[in-house]
A and B are shown apart, each in its own frame.
Chain A
Amino acid sequence: MSVGDQIGARIREKRIQLRIRQSQLAKIVGVSPSYLNLIEHNRRRIGGKLLTDLAEALAIDVDLLSEDGKSSKVARLEEVAHYNKVDMQAESARELATRFPAWSSFLIDLDRNVRSLEAKIDALSDRLSHDPQLATSLHEVITTVTAIRATSSILSESDDIDPMWQRRFQRNISEDSLRLAEEAQALVDYLNADETEARTGTPHEEVEAFLHENDYHFEMIETETPDIDDILNISAIRSTAGRLLARNVLETYQMDATALPLASLIDDLPIQTGLSQLAQKHRCTIPQMMRRLACLPTETIGREFGMVSMDVTGSILFRKQIDGFHMPRFGSACAYWPIFQALQMPMRLLEDVVIHTGREGGTFHTYSYCEAIQDSIGRPPRLVGHMLFYPHVQEAAQATRVGATCRVCAIATCPSRREPSILGEEL
C-alpha cells in the first residue's frame, strides 16, 4: 500500500482524540513507543500490516489514514460530528462527502468558524470579567460620563446660574469631553486589537504566547547554561513587565533542569509510575517534578501534561493548557478544581480524576500539591498550589465534574456557581 507524508500525523490525531497513550498503542500493535513516535512525526514511512493494525487499534477505516482528499474530508466530517455530539456512522460521513462535496466543505468550514468564535467568546468573556486593564478603562469612561452628565444637566436645567459657575461648568464639560474622547479611543483600540494583539494584550498573555510558541520547552537550557537575556532578546516579548515575568519562568526552568536533567529521566520514559514515587526516586520536590513533566516534549515523555500554578488568592501564576482542559487566564477558576483542596492542605499530594465539562472537555487524571515557601523569617510562608494533569484513559468510577470558570460553564445546578453562565444550558 502506498503511503503519504501525513499518515503519522493522522494516527497521532486519532490516538489523542481517543485518549490512548502512545505507549499503549505501541504495545497493541507490537512496536516500541519510540518507533511509533517516529511514525507519528512522519519520520518513518508506514504501510502494510502495521498500518492495518494501527487502523484497527484506532477503530478507523484504513483508507481514512491515507492521503486522498476525499478520505481526509470524511475524517473531518466525522470530527465535526464527534465535536457536536452527533451520532454519525463512518459510512454516512463518506456518503455525505461523496454525494455533496460542496455542502461537506461548507459544513467543515462552518464548524471551524464556530470553534474559532467559541474560543474568542471564552477569551473575551474571561477578559471582560477579569482583565484589570479593561476594568480600569471602563471605570474611567463611566466616571467621566457621570461628570459630564451631572454638569450638563445643571447647565441645561437651570436658568439662574451665576456666570462664574456657568463658565466653570462649561470648562469642566470641555475638559471632560476631551478626556472621554481619549478614553473611548483607547478602549476601542484595545478591543479592536487583532487576534495576535488580543492574545498578547497583558504581560501574562505575552509570556504565555512566548511559552506556547516554544512548546514550553527550551532545548538551549536543557543542554547548556545560556544567558536568559539572550533568550528574551530573540523573543517577541516587548513589555518590561512581560520580560520580568518570563525571566522568572526561565530562571525556574533553569534551576529545575539543573536539578533534574532530562538524561536522568530517560530510564523512566514513558512516564508510567506515580508522581510521588518519581519525585522520591529523583530526590526532587514534587513541584519540580510537575514543572519538568509539563515542560518536556510530549514525544519524549510519552504523555501530554497540562499544568496550572496559583497563589492562595486564586491568581494564576503559570498555565499550560492541553486540549479539553480549558482554564481562565485571570483567576476565578472553577471552585472544584482539586488544586483548591490542595491549597487548604499544604504539603499533601492529592490525586484525583475530574471530568472537564467544557465543550471539548474530557476526563483527566490530576495531581495537586501546595508548597509553603518561606521567603523571609518572621513572615508567614507563601503558599503556592500546583496541579498537573493529563488525559485519563481508563474508565473513571468516581470523578468530579468541573468547568473552566462559572461564566462559561454549563453545569446549571452547581452549588458553587458565582455568576450566571453565558451558556444557556448544559451542552
Chain B
Amino acid sequence: MAKTVLLIEDEVNIIEALSFILSRDGWDVVTHSNGHDANEVITRREPDLVVLDVMLPGKSGFDILRDLRRDPRHQNRPVLMLTARGQSKDRDMAEQLGVSKFMTKPFSNSEVRNAVNELLSG
C-alpha cells in the first residue's frame, strides 16, 4: 500500500504541480489548503508525511508544527516545510519546532521528490 503524503498549501497551481509529480512517483497524495483546521486533518488522515507551507490562511505553518509536536501522536511524524521566507531566523525557528526538513521556494521538482523519498524511506 502506497504511503500517504498530505500536502498543505494554499496556492492552487503549486498544489496541482506537486500532487502530479508526487503521485507519479507512487505516493498517495491528499491535499488541504488552509491552516485553520490543518491539525485536525492531520489527525484524521494520519499521513506518513506532511508537506507544509508556512504562510497559510487561518494559521501559520509554524503554529501548525508547534501544535503537532505537542501532540504525542504526531511527535515523530515527518514534516517537510516549504516557505518563501528563506531567512535564517525562519529556518532556525522551524528547526527549534522540530521540522524534519526545511526547503525554500522556489524549489526544483527534483529537490522536492528527493526530500520526500528520503523522508519516507527512513
Contacts and interface: CB of A to CB of B under 8 A. Distances in A.
A172 B106 contact: no
Contact of A143 (B16, B17, B20, B84): B84
B93 to A, nearest CB: 13
B11 A143 contact: yes
Interface string B97-122: 00000000111110010000000000
Given A139-B55, A153-B109, A419 B89 contact: yes
B13 interface: yes
B18 interface: yes
Contact of A165 (B20, B85, B112): B20
B119 to A, nearest CB: 18
Given A139-B55, A143-B105, A419-B89, A151 B17 contact: yes
B30 interface: no
B85 A150 contact: no
B55 A150 contact: no
Interface residues of A, number: 21
Contact of A169 (B17, B84, B107): B17
A110 B105 CA distance: 41
Contacts of A153: 108-109
B13 A147 contact: yes
A359 to B, nearest CB: 26
B16 A168 contact: yes
Contacts of B1: none
A146 B109 contact: no
Nearest to B104: A142
B14 A150 contact: yes
A146 B105 contact: yes
A151 B105 CA distance: 14
A263 to B, nearest CB: 52
Contacts of B18: 150
Contacts of B85: 139
B13 A139 contact: no
Interface string A312-340: 00000000000000000000000000000
B16 to A, nearest CB: 6
Interface of A: 138-139, 142-143, 145-147, 149-151, 153-154, 157, 165, 168-169, 172, 175-176, 418-419
Given A143-B84, A149-B108, A175-B13, 7 more contacts: A138-B84, A139-B85, A147-B11, A147-B13, A150-B106, A172-B16, A176-B13
